[in-house]
Structure 1
Amino acid sequence: MRLGGLAGRAAALVGMVLAVGLLPWLTRNDPALTILHARYADRPPTPGVLAAIRAETGLDGGPPQVLGDWLGGVAHGDFGVSWVSGAPVGPDVTAALGVSLTLMGCSLLVAVVLAGLLCLRTLRLGARRGLVRARAGVLGAALAALPEFLVAAVLATVFAVQAGWFPAVGWGTFSSAVLPAVAMGVPAGALLGRLLDDALPAAFAEPWARAAAARGIPGVRVARHALRRTLPGVLPQFGFVVVGLTGGAVAVETLFAIPGLGGTALSAALAQDLPVLQAAVLVLLLLGVAAGLAVRGLGRLLLGPALQDGALPTLVRPRLAAGRTVRWGAVLVTVVFVGVVVAGLLRDPYAIDVTARLAGPGAGHPLGTDSLGRDTLARLGHGAGRTVLAALAVSAVTLVIGVLVGLVPGAGGFTEMVNALPAIVAGLVVAGVAGPGAVAAAVAVSVVAWAPLAAHTRALYEQERAAPHVAAARAAGAGPGWVLRRHILPGVLPGVVRHAVLRVPALALALASLSFLGLGAAPPAPEWGRMLAENMPYAERAPWAVLGPAGALVALGTGAVLWAAVAGGGRRGRSSTAVDEGVAEVRV
């Protein structure tokens, strides 16, 4: 790692810590009043009492003094004292980190196994034939669109409450980690598996793979080298998953009553307990730096000297196998989706029928009702525009930002820092500056959601610029702009765009989750994430109340992937003709 990269990461780390330290002065709530309610509920909020609290916590000195005192303590291993409980911060954050790291390790194991299973068919085809065509990856997209807390609730109901095989809540034994690890690992593994399965056909289409198959080299060996060839482009997402599973598992930790770091950061952010929040975010940021450095080193190790010698061929994805089944599947999903939305728009989403609370599907309510007796179909239809259009807009914005930042040299440290920042903290900062609302929620999600796309862009960019045809273009006198537009971006953008499409349902859920916390659109506005969160306590009694919005999210993800497959199936990449000729040569 170059000194410039380390300096960039250090600067980004300091900047993020300073931004978190300004949170009490950015939000519109008086932190002294919050501390008063938490510690001294029986004391009146008089000016003298509030002034005494500010003097006790150092708030009267302003941001410079608060930050200076905290950083000075951290240098000596002291994270300060909680503003709310008055207890030392260090032991609580350390204990929460140990719990989260254990849960993250178990979840990552589930994610890696699932990712391998999703890629198994492509690896087998490549091992037998030496070349495979790209697939739509509908199963991976559907699993990636599942909300973690919904998977957790279903697992807890079936395997903990009804079967009694695992504990429903608590932490401390191996069995208590099984269900939350599966709930967190399935969406993460589906995302990783989909990205890896998307890149593998390009590796099997390279000349070395075709030549190896023609010479009779064992298919397992070819598949192993193809996996090694594609892993560096996906490895940055593993680092992002590590940080996300450690600090972003708030909903799962809450459902299973797990004292992890994500829940600790959320509680501190909502209570404006700055010392606890700073310590939790600092730990997450350091974890993000460590994961980024490890992933970067492993990627260079897998590629070897070819990355520096300019000897990497371009990973050109073969034509997508968008056959009749994929096309009809895209049409069917779209027709059903649009039909549900239109039918819902014809109903009143705010009408309350107390006599039909949690009523099952029937003639009057085709998808049942929620806990207040409101029609689920109506709320799905009216919430589609708010949820889907906002998610698509945020996806487009994050795609542009991610590509631009990913092309900037030395921006990897900043990307890792942003990824490690909990979304709830970004939401609180944005809401504090701009006030709560739908726009503020969209901005908050956009602030952090571009980071995975930037990391993916950078990984593909570094491989693409090491291709021989890029070196040949430079030797022929092509300028940097020409090389970027005509030789590098065509190999980078398709994979990043497909990655952005895969994240659309997650963005929709993130937007709605911020709204449920009071940082987005005010209730009772119909939003799919709000519908899920509001009806989760009744999932066992009335599963239709959560299956409706969950199914809509899955349909959104699978529909986006299917239409991307249809759009890509009619086009050929720059070397698709050569690829097809290579297939004929190998088969002959």
Structure 2
Amino acid sequence: MFGRAVSAAGVLLVVGLLPWLTRTDPARTILHARYADRAPTASALADIRAETGLDEGPVRLLGRWAGDLARGDLGTSWVSGQPVRPDVLSALGTSLSLMGASLAVAVLLAAALSLRTLRAGARQRGAAYERPRAGAVAAALAALPEFLLAAVFATVFAVQLGWFPALGWGSAQQLVLPALAMGIPAGALLGRLLDDALPGAFAERWVATCVASGLRPARIAGYALRRVLPPLLEQFGFVVVGLTGGAVAVETLFAVPGLGGTALSAALAQDLPVLQACVLLLLVLGLAVGAAVRAARRALLGPALDAGALPALVRPRPARPARAIGWTAAVLGTALAAVVVAGLLRDPLAVDAAARLAGPSGAHPLGTDALGRDVLARLGHGAARTALAAVGVAAVTLAAGVAVGVLTRWTEGLREVANALPPVIAGLIVAGIAGPGQLGAAAAVAVVAWAPLAAHTAGLYEEERAAAHLEGAVALGAGRWHLLRHHVLPGVLPPVVRHAVLRIPALALALASLGFLGLGAGPPAPEWGRMLSENMPYAERAPWAVLAPAAALACVGVLAVLLAALRPRARTAR
């Protein structure tokens, strides 16, 4: 509990010091937001500083905010001059409602993606774990950008078919499209992780005993779910918090007054009281979800962790389908590489005003965008800024996540606090301190992206340490490092590595969203996320300009899962 309090206080301290850490004058931003036609004279800026307390210094300002917080007062907005509490609590209620609906979609999709493995495994059919059932489908769905799904759903189901409202909030119909846009990628991620863990449970001896005893397949499937859920519960918690504070793009597109959009608007306007209140509520939510996850894990595992009676999951190796997976990955990778190389041979900045939004042709195989720039060229040159940067960030977060996850007792609070901070807010803080740029955007994403991998590592590490076979190794004289290298990490690293690979498309989207907000590489540098954002208004007239980067991101996701499936799984039964 102490570590959680210290981590949360550190984040709030950095947010509170943001006006003194950034390279801009908050008084100018506040003056422009309040009085757009008023000149930023020295006297006007001095009045703003005196009114907001900026002239008192950071220590007194933070002390006053902490004192008000103890009395239940979240302060007064610097921009509107209104109390912060009513608006922020209303935004929290909206985000929680949207999160609940999105979570229902995610759970249903995750269950559908893993249903075939559950059925086959419960009946002891070997095909249940010979190859990944939901890998390619889940990867493609997880790689789809939330704002792209939101734009497609709004265009098709709201504008063209008129089934649902396109904007607004307050009715059940207005909840459907945002929930689908947010729940589908989250459900695909959960479904892929669940489908990856189930084969290990079905390969254990107790399943064969249950089948021989005549237990119903549904009951066996329930036991398998209980076996694999504990290390995945923290990922479920991370999805819950991410659906609450990380839905900035979807909230903006559908005009949903949620907490993520409120925090982003406050950060851009440097409205410190509103930003502090939003971050505080997100941190409280993250800590509450973390406590619920820990209680659920303890209820599922019972005394097995303490008694050392928990067997390690079997990790069966892929059999015959590995060659088919290898060929599929090779073909897909070759096709993607060919498109990238063909794009690199073209000029991504050349503008042809006469060919604006031109369809695919011999001169422009993938068409042109709204400025007449070649989509193929921008796709090829944007691969380095999007895909390669995401791979680099994934490698860094994998190393950090494994290292931090091994220290389970001392890093739980830090993981929960890092996950509660949306990447966009982290990007604004990092960019405000270090300035915008590709390196700053990558650092901002890495600051929060390690938390899910650390949680996955911690869950598996805790179960591996409680496995009965470790007692035999200790009795034979094995030391701590020998146990870690030869008994614990072989059961932890393979699923965590596959998890890290599965997150590469999400990291690419996070980098792209920061670039779209002006916190990454500046325009006109090509970037897949920026290509989506720039061409979204023309999706109905020129769908090729949107489909090209979306297909590239989906291909990266599918290729990542196929490559992860080729990795040798850790071990068979001990």
Distance 1:572 1:504 in 2: 20
1:82-101 to 2 correspondences below 5 Å: 82-101=77-96
Check conservation: 1:27, 1:428, Cα contact below 8 A.
no
Alignment partner of 1:335 is 2:334: yes
Alignment partner of 1:207 is 2:205: yes
Quote the residue 2:401 is aligned against.
Answer: 402
Which residue type is aligned with residue 87 of structure 2? Answer: D
Query: 1:320 Cα deviation (Å)?
Result: 2.2
Query: 1:130 Cα deviation (Å)?
Result: 6.2
Quote the residue 2:42 is aligned against.
Answer: 47
Partner secondary structure for residue 123 of structure 2:
helix
Alignment partner of 1:77 is 2:72: yes
Query: Aligned residues, how many?
Result: 569
Distance 1:102 1:471 in 2: 47
Distance 1:573 1:290 in 2: 34
Percent identity over the alignment is: 68
TM-score, normalised with respect to structure 2: 0.97
Query: 1:359 Cα deviation (Å)?
Result: 1.3
Distance 1:444 1:513 in 2: 12
Q: Deviations over 1:154-179 (max 9, x none)?
A: 11111111111100111110010001
Quote the residue 1:351 is aligned against.
Answer: 350
From 273, 276, 293, give the equivalent of 1:275: 273
Partner secondary structure for residue 57 of structure 2:
helix
Check conservation: 1:380, 1:528, Cα contact below 8 A.
yes
1:573-588 to 2 correspondences below 5 Å: 573-575=570-572
From 316, 319, 325, give the equivalent of 1:318: 316
For the structure 1 residues 350 and 548, does the alpha-carbon distance in structure 2 shift closer, same or farther, using more than 3 Å as the test? same
1:5-20 to 2 correspondences below 5 Å: 6-20=1-15
Query: 1:244 Cα deviation (Å)?
Result: 0.5
Q: Deviations over 1:374-393 (max 9, x none)?
A: 11000001111221111111
Task: Name the stretch that deviates more: 109-118 or 16-25.
Answer: 16-25
RMSD: 1.3
Check conservation: 1:401, 1:450, Cα contact below 8 A.
yes
Task: Name the stretch that deviates more: 428-437 or 103-112.
Answer: 428-437
Alignment partner of 1:291 is 2:286: no
Distance 1:254 1:536 in 2: 14
Q: Deviations over 1:1-41 (max 9, x none)?
A: xxxxx121112111111111111111111001111111122
Check conservation: 1:130, 1:210, Cα contact below 8 A.
no
Quote the residue 2:489 is aligned against.
Answer: 489
Alignment partner of 1:63 is 2:76: no
Q: Deviations over 1:180-202 (max 9, x none)?
A: 10000000000000001100000
Check conservation: 2:246, 2:260, Cα contact below 8 A.
yes
Partner secondary structure for residue 523 of structure 1:
coil
1:186-585 to 2 correspondences below 5 Å: 186-321=184-319, 322-408=321-407, 409-566=409-566, 568=567, 571=568, 573-575=570-572
Distance 2:168 2:239 in 1: 24
Alignment partner of 1:133 is 2:124: no
Partner secondary structure for residue 328 of structure 2:
helix
Check conservation: 2:121, 2:129, Cα contact below 8 A.
no
Check conservation: 2:494, 2:570, Cα contact below 8 A.
no
Check conservation: 1:130, 1:204, Cα contact below 8 A.
no
Distance 2:308 2:542 in 1: 59
Distance 1:572 1:259 in 2: 45
Which residue type is aligned with residue 112 of structure 1? Answer: V
Quote the residue 1:582 is aligned against.
Answer: none
Quote the residue 1:584 is aligned against.
Answer: none
Check conservation: 2:512, 2:528, Cα contact below 8 A.
yes
Task: Name the stretch that deviates more: 426-435 or 507-516.
Answer: 426-435
Quote the residue 2:157 is aligned against.
Answer: 159
Q: Deviations over 1:282-322 (max 9, x none)?
A: 00000000001101110111112212111111112211243
Check conservation: 1:134, 1:320, Cα contact below 8 A.
yes
Check conservation: 1:130, 1:219, Cα contact below 8 A.
no
Which residue type is aligned with residue 200 of structure 2? Answer: A
Query: 1:215 Cα deviation (Å)?
Result: 2.7
Check conservation: 1:269, 1:428, Cα contact below 8 A.
yes
For the structure 1 residues 181 and 134, does the alpha-carbon distance in structure 2 shift closer, same or farther, using more than 3 Å as the test? farther
Check conservation: 2:124, 2:202, Cα contact below 8 A.
no
Distance 2:354 2:254 in 1: 32
Structure 2 unaligned blocks of 5 or more = none
Distance 2:169 2:272 in 1: 26
1:14-33 to 2 correspondences below 5 Å: 14-33=9-28
Query: 1:129 Cα deviation (Å)?
Result: 1.4
Q: Deviations over 1:351-404 (max 9, x none)?
A: 111111111112221111111111100000111122111111100000000111
Q: Deviations over 1:249-286 (max 9, x none)?
A: 01101111110001000000111110000000000000
Which residue type is aligned with residue 430 of structure 2? Answer: V
Quote the residue 1:144 is aligned against.
Answer: 142
Q: Deviations over 1:506-562 (max 9, x none)?
A: 111111211111111111000001111111111122111111001000001111111
Task: Name the stretch that deviates more: 201-210 or 450-459.
Answer: 201-210
Partner secondary structure for residue 65 of structure 2:
helix
Distance 1:133 1:424 in 2: 38
Quote the residue 1:585 is aligned against.
Answer: none
Distance 1:135 1:45 in 2: 65
Check conservation: 1:21, 1:274, Cα contact below 8 A.
yes
Distance 2:252 2:102 in 1: 16
Check conservation: 1:395, 1:504, Cα contact below 8 A.
yes
